[in-house]
Amino acid sequence: MTSWIIKTFFADRGTKRLLWAALALSILISGWSALTSYDMSSVFVRVSMKSPVTGTAVLYYDIGRQFNSVHVSTSPVYGDSKFRNVRLRIPYTERLFNLRLDPPETPAGEIAINRLDIVDHHGNVLHRFKLEDIKPANQIQGFSLVDGEVRFSTSEKANDPQLRISIERPVSFNRLKLYAFMLAYQIIPQFLIVFLVFVLLIFIWSRWSDPVVAFMMILAILLAGWMLYHDFQSIYFQLTMKSTMRGDIAELYYDQGYGFSGASSLRAHVHEDDQFHEYHFKIPRNIRYLRFDPSMKAGTVIIKKMELTDRFGSVLQSFQPHQLSPSWEIKAFEFTADGLTVRTTDKATDSQIMIMLDESWQSHARPLLIVATRALIEWSAIIALLLIFIFLWNKNRERAYRFIDGAFVQERLPLIYLGCAFGLILAMVFIGNRTCHPDEWSHIYSANFYSSYWLPKSVDNPEVVKTISGYGTSYLFRVEIAYWLAGKLSSLLSALIYEDYLRLRLLNTALFLFCVLLWAWKARKVPLFSMALIVSPQIWYMFSYFNGDGFPFFVSLLISWQLVDHNSMTNQYLNSADFRKHISGGILFGILMGLMLLSKMNYYVYIAFILCVMAWRFLFESRGQESISERNRLQIKKAFLIVCIALCVWLPPVVYDQYVNDFRKNEKILITAERHAHPALKPSKLRDDISSSYPGLRLRDKGMSLRELLFQNPEWRDMTFKSFFGLYGNMDYHSDRDYYQVVRYTQGAFFLLIFFCVIIAFPIRDVVMILIVILFAGLAIGQSVYHSWVNDYQPQGRYLFVILPMLVIGLDRLPDRFRTRIIPIFSLIFFFLSASSFLWTAIRHIPKLSGCG
């Protein structure tokens, strides 16, 4: 057995590399899972409570920063007058100094508490409180301790009832014990499973000489495993409902222990034909609470049926009337022969129904024979399709390779789907109404300023003040060339197109068209260029309305093209043996770098990346007959020229901007923001009373740790991912959960192939390039996280678009066969995914101009 293992996995150098890579990847996956896991790494304040009304319990915990709006945990409370455990999450890494529990408002009726403790994920008690530790603090009446129960009600007009939980000495937890528990029950088992799966896949890969057949075998195994995992990890919330409200949306929130948030919600667009329709929401199995928002408008809906099912339609639980209760913006909640009639309030925007879950559905299990039969049928279908594919592939292998390597796949097909993408962008340009896109009018006002003026003005100039948003800032406060160019070109087009918003949208769309034409001209030389344009529908959306993100992305792609295309003007200059030969290429590159400096600041990391790429080229790719000293002098002279050109583009507008602001720009910005910002966003509010400022501002100063932001709560990660791959409007129109899952799996397969290709085939110089890409991609993510933590909480995927031109440069080091055979296949897959999201979510549901609905 030992000799067989050594012969199979360690005799071949490539297989040995794969095995070490699988080991490293398994450690990374299991470590990341543990770092971001909620269940195993959390502790809870558990309150056994009964309440006559449905509401929300809120726990404030003091970890040495007093009570604040950041260190808060919430949980629904069911109003069935039965004792139920309410679990409120708290950090296990901090010491607790004080606790405050805000119960639901109950002017009529009495709340009772009979137990209060702190438990881990499995319910093991870590700390017990006495009922005597609970004290009334605010808007509490009738407080008493009788028969082992704390009983109380809230004042008649209570809006902030409070109970204080006395803590004699700070409460802390045995971290070592919790870490050991996580290591034994989560990290090690997960590592072993992942590593063994990788070993199996490596064995399959090493047994087949044809990589395509090996890949399809691996894909079939992963698909079968995913379907089995999917069956046990997902359930469906299904209901039958009718409505007459046009353009309405129903939303389901599920709580996995983090509380309700936009990241843990699903939407369905409601039919308005006054007929019953079925709606399905795919949700994780490990849910704790559910909340259904039937309408975002004032009106009436009728719900006929509401249940949990598995993916085959088998009912796990049918919800009964006693399990449903109105929570917010509902004025009528009646059960009739037709079903549940819900009438929302006159100005409703967020009506809510709490759904009481019991544990009966979790124990519901289908007969093992049915499960095995269905799994056997599915796997048999996968095996049959695999065998058919292998047969057809072996018979037509050479013909398939010729087709993939031919002009249609390499040149015409990408041009077709890029043309389709451009058509979808144009459709959005013309049908989207004037207010449906995020901050578009703030961008338009900034561009219109330069339609009238050639030079920037001070931040307190009346014309600049007109462009200020509720934050007290304007895009004109930044020195960004995009608004100047857009304003001047818009004024030139004003005689042809009357509407300013339409002129500016078309100018932004023209940037995408230019990229398409550039790719059509250089198709064979920059195959990754087209993938960068179609990998995400959010890129199409970015080019479909006017904003400040399209131009820097456009310039960054031009820079990547100049470095990747061996015959580009820049590469001709950098590779020439004469300083003056092809000098126009150096001038062009310097201008592009200068424009990059005059763009959004999140692209500065890209400038640093380009400098590292140039250094990498100097170290690994410089060739020639001249001596090393002559070559070094020549390259330094060329670099000096490029830097001088970039500074000549960047410095004049920056210096002039400081000049018109008396070289006190930052001070003036603070004064202007204080005058014009919304009260909760004023600098003085952040300075003097930060706890009452806008909730998303300066989270670090409010006491939120980086771990809480990035790891303990998945909202930042989920919202960033969704808004990278398709989240439209004011981040309120998103695709189905299945779409994002398929994107994740496709993306994972793509980068897994790249990872193992790097391990097997890359020389050290190209490995260094990939490491540079990984480093700066991590920095791009890091600066987005840091901005959300230190400045303003904005989990937006557009901040990470800077990674795409980095990948264009880095992945150009892939072998020719990978770039010409694998990249086109994944590009086509990404196009279909992007088109489905953009067409069925963005174009279908974005509010439209009158007559375009």
Q: Which pLDDT score, from 0 to 100, does residue 544 have?
A: 94
Residue 625 has a pLDDT of 47
pLDDT in tens, 464-499: 888 988 888 899 999 999 999 999 999 988 888 888
DSSP annotation string for 416-481: HHHHHHHHHHHHHHHHB-TTSSTTHHHHHHHHHHHHH-SS---TTSHHHHTT--TTS--GGGS--H
**Percentage of residues in the chain having pLDDT higher than 70:** 92
Q: Is the pLDDT of residue 523 over 70?
A: no
pLDDT computed for residue 364 by the predictor:
60
Please tell me the predicted confidence (pLDDT) of residue 259: 65
**Confidence band for 513, pLDDT divided at 50, 70 and 90:** very high
Is it true that domain 235-355 has CATH number 1.10.8? no
Q: Are 57 and 162 in contact (CB under 8 A)?
A: no
Domain spans in the chain, listed from the N-terminal domain onward = 1-36+178-207, 43-173, 235-355, 410-845
CA-to-CA separations, 751 to 243, 270, 744, 748, in angstroms, rounded: 44, 37, 11, 5
Higher pLDDT, 738 or 563: 563
For residue 567, what pLDDT is reported? 86
- What confidence tens digit (pLDDT) does each residue in 278-322 have? 888 888 777 777 888 888 888 888 888 888 887 777 777 787 777
Determine which of 30-44, 166-180, 786-800 has the lowest per-residue pLDDT on average.
30-44
3-state SS assignment for residue 645: helix
* Average confidence score pLDDT of the chain: 84
**Residue 452 pLDDT exceeds 80:** yes
Are the CB atoms for 833 and 776 separated by under 8 Å?
A: no
Q: What is the pLDDT of residue 2?
A: 57
Most confident of 18-32, 104-118, 213-227, 533-547: 533-547
Q: Helix 527-534 and helix 500-521: axis angle, to 10°? A: 150
With a cut of 50, say whether residue 705 has pLDDT above it: yes
Distance CA 268, CA 107 (A): 35
Q: How high is the pLDDT of residue 563?
A: 92
- Model confidence at 674: pLDDT above 50: yes
Looking at residue 247, its amino acid is G
Highest mean pLDDT (candidates 88-102, 146-160, 336-350, 586-600): 586-600
| Tens-place pLDDT, residues 594-637 | 999 999 999 999 999 999 999 888 887 655 545 667 777 888 88
pLDDT in the model for residue 853: 52
Question: What pLDDT, on a 0 to 100 scale, did the predictor assign at position 263?
Answer: 61
Q: 472's torsion region: left (phi>0), alpha (psi -120 to 50) or beta? A: left
Do the Cβ atoms of 802 and 690 come closer than 8 Å? no
Residue 39 has pLDDT above 60, yes or no: no
- 193-202, 353-362, 591-600 — which is least confidently predicted? 353-362
Task: State mean pLDDT over 544-571.
Answer: 92
Whether this model's pTM surpasses 0.75 = yes
235-355 matches 43-173 in CATH topology: yes
- pLDDT-derived band at 365 (thresholds 50, 70, 90) equals low
**All residues at 6 or more sequence positions from 401 whose CB lies less than 8 Å from its CB, including other chains:** 821
CATH of region 43-173: 2.60.60
Pick from 258-262, 335-339, 492-496, 551-555: least confident: 258-262
